[in-house]
């Protein structure tokens, strides 16, 4: 109890100490906003209370110190992305009630095999590739429940206590993040970058130009991340059972029942509609992926299974929806609002701009580190919106071509691994240990920033077309 009490007090204590130390360098409100990020990080690491309780710290701090309008913070807790997560969860709840989760789990084991390296590789590859074309959050929301169902099936009871679950869920969370910069549509942050590049060049930035420049970088990051995942500690090299055993078990399930078909069809339909949104955006401009998932999730309360029972009841949904995951994700958005609207990031940008960094590697490293830091405490989109103008301003003040620095920065924006914010909150919501993600994410974040900085600098120096737009 003494240890828990100390760790509990440590959160607000570090908040006040850091705010006091930063006051003067930053305005008082900005210092308090940065202190809030430190408080939340401390509680996420030591977990004296549930990580979902930590998610409400931005509301509490803002209510005491009135840093920004309360509505700006509160609104983040049921934002568009929160709606998407709720809709996805409603659809996936029917997997358990119909037995579809077991069928999908065994099918995955039949296809991937039981080797842990195979499992890590396939989940990481699928998450990375799919997030090139779909929003990162959608990809994580698709794969996490499948992976967790599979882990439960092979005997992993409490996912938060499972060391076997760590590399698999990290592969999904990290893969969903890095794949975002494989194409301009992979992340809304990329569209911010495209907008800035078009303003700088005065002409349209073709999607093919993006792919040519970023796919090689993504390939190197993917390879380094995969090797890192392979070397994470894991208690077993194979999951219980053999491929042949699961194939025989799958045949024993027989044909899919009506309820299973409905649950599977609506989930696939939601995924496809999110992917082909450009085809119907003109007809239904407000029907974004979030509302597609919610609409199809709500249908589960009306559709009937083979026993003529509702696919989902509110009583079951109320007690099984992952409300904590939704609030955890929202807390990152709320924290981002605090650090941006209090001017903390603007002041930090001015400090960086005044450093008079030499051209080349130093400017590129600063841009990548700053972008990665911003992505850790806010959304990728906010990070891009703040990082790119800062890097552009520094490059132009030194008389440099800003384009290669912008390209390096946007790659770094999509390479955040540590705090349970944005896409990284979703695996945590499904049981991944937040402290494990922070522990392993710190090392990988450092390695990735170094890699992105060196590769981007090398491309700028030795591949003329890289920055020629």
Q: Are 28 and 127 within one domain?
A: no
Model confidence at 41, pLDDT cuts 50, 70, 90, reads: confident
- 443 part of a folded domain: no
Of 323, 347, 373, which marks where a domain is finished?
A: 323
Mean per-residue pLDDT for 346-366? 80
Chain segment 257-276, per-residue pLDDT in tens: 999 999 989 988 987 887 78
Q: Give the mean pLDDT of the chain.
A: 87
Q: Kindly tell me if the per-residue pLDDT of 252 is higher than 90.
A: no
Quote the CA–CA distance of 119 and 149 in Å, as a whole number. 14
Least confident stretch, 352-366, 405-419, 426-440: 352-366
Provide mean pLDDT across the span 88-100: 86
- Taking the C-alpha atoms of residue 35 and residue 282, their distance in angstroms, rounded to an integer, is 44
Tell whether the model's pLDDT for residue 1 goes beyond 60: no
In a domain, residue 1? The reply is yes
Residues 177 and 309 both lie in one domain: yes
Query: Are residue 145 and residue 4 in the same domain, yes or no?
Result: no
17 and 164, same domain (yes or no) = no
Specify whether 104 is located in the same domain as 17: no
**Greater confidence, 208 or 50?**
50
Band of residue 243 on the pLDDT scale cut at 50, 70, 90: confident
Predicted local confidence at residue 185, as pLDDT:
64
82 and 170 inside one domain: yes
Q: What is the pLDDT of residues 146-164, one digit of tens each?
A: 888 889 888 888 898 899 9
What count of other Cβ atoms lies within 10 Å of the Cβ of residue 113?
A: 17
Exposed, middle or buried, 5 (CB in 10 Å: 0-12/13-18/19+)? exposed
Within a domain: 165 = yes
In a domain, 170, yes or no: yes
Q: Does the residue 95 lie in any domain?
A: yes
pLDDT value at 107 more than 90: no
Q: State the Cα angle at 91 between 90 and 94, rounded to 5°.
A: 95
In the chain, the percentage of residues whose pLDDT exceeds 90 is 35
Are both 238 and 287 inside the same structural domain?
yes
Given this model, what pLDDT does residue 325 score? 79
> The domain containing residue 15 runs over which residues?
1-49
For residues 40 and 86, membership in a common domain is answered with no
**Are 135 and 97 contained in the same domain?**
yes
359 vs 167, residue with greater confidence = 167
Q: Tell me, yes or no, whether 40 and 84 share the same domain.
A: no
Quick check: is 380 in a domain? no
Confidence of residue 469 (pLDDT cuts 50, 70, 90): low
**Residue 344, pLDDT score:** 86
Look at the chain and report how many structural domains it folds into: 2
What is the C-alpha R_g of the chain? 23
The residue out of 274, 289, 323 marking a domain boundary is 323
User: Is 115 a member of any domain?
Assistant: yes
Per-residue pLDDT for 352 more than 80? no
Whether residue 41 is found in the same domain as residue 172? no
Per-residue pLDDT at 281: 83
pLDDT of residue 80: 82
345 inside domain: no
pLDDT category of residue 35 using cuts at 50, 70 and 90: very high
Report pLDDT digits (tens) over 178-207. 988 887 767 767 777 887 788 888 877 776
If asked whether residues 24 and 86 sit together in one domain, one would say: no
């Amino acid at each position: 109890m003494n240890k828990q009490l100390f760790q509990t007090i440590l959160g607000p204590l570090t908040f006040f100490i850091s705010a006091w130390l930063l006051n003067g360098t930053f305005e008082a409100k900005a210092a308090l906003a940065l202190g809030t990020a430190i408080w939340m990080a401390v509680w996420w690491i030591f977990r004296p209370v549930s990580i979902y309780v930590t998610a409400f710290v931005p509301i509490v701090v803002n209510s005491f110190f009135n840093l920004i309008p309360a509505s700006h913070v509160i609104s983040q807790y049921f934002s568009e992305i929160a709606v998407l997560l709720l809709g996805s969860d409603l659809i996936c709840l029917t997997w358990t009630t119909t037995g579809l989760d077991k069928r999908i789990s065994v099918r995955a084991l039949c296809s991937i095999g039981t080797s842990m390296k195979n499992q890590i590789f396939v989940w990481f590859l699928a998450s990375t590739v799919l997030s090139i074309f779909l929003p990162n959050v959608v990809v994580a929301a698709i794969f996490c429940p499948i992976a967790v169902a599979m882990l439960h099936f092979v005997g992993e009871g409490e996912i938060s206590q499972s060391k076997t679950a760590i590399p698999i869920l990290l592969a999904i969370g990290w893969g969903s993040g890095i794949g975002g910069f494989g194409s301009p549509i992979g992340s809304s942050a990329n569209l911010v970058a495209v907008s800035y590049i078009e303003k700088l060049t005065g002409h349209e930035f073709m999607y093919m130009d993006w792919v040519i420049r970023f796919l090689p970088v993504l390939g190197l990051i993917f390879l380094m991340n995969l090797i890192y995942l392979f070397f994470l500690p894991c208690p077993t090299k194979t999951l219980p059972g053999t491929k042949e055993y699961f194939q025989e078990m799958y045949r024993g399930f027989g044909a899919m029942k009506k309820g299973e078909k409905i649950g599977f069809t609506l989930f696939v339909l939601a995924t496809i509609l999110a992917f082909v949104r450009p085809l119907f955006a003109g007809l239904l401009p407000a029907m974004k992926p979030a509302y597609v998932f919610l609409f199809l999730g709500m249908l589960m309360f009306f559709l009937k299974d083979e026993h003529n029972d509702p696919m989902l009841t509110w009583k079951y949904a109320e007690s099984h929806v992952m409300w904590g995951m939704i609030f955890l994700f929202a807390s990152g958005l709320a924290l981002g609002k605090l650090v941006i609207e209090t001017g903390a990031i603007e002041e930090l940008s001015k400090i960086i701009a005044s450093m008079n960094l030499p051209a080349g590697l130093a400017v590129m490293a600063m841009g990548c580190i700053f972008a990665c830091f911003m992505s850790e405490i806010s959304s990728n989109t906010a990070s891009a919106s703040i990082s790119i103008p800062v890097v552009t301003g520094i490059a132009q003040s030194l008389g440099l071509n800003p384009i290669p620095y912008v390209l390096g920065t946007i790659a770094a924006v999509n390479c955040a691994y540590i705090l349970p914010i944005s896409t990284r909150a979703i695996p945590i919501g499904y049981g991944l240990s937040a402290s494990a993600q922070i522990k392993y994410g710190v090392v990988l974040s450092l390695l990735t920033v170094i890699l992105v900085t060196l590769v981007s600098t090398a491309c700028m120096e030795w591949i003329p077309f890289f920055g020629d737009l």
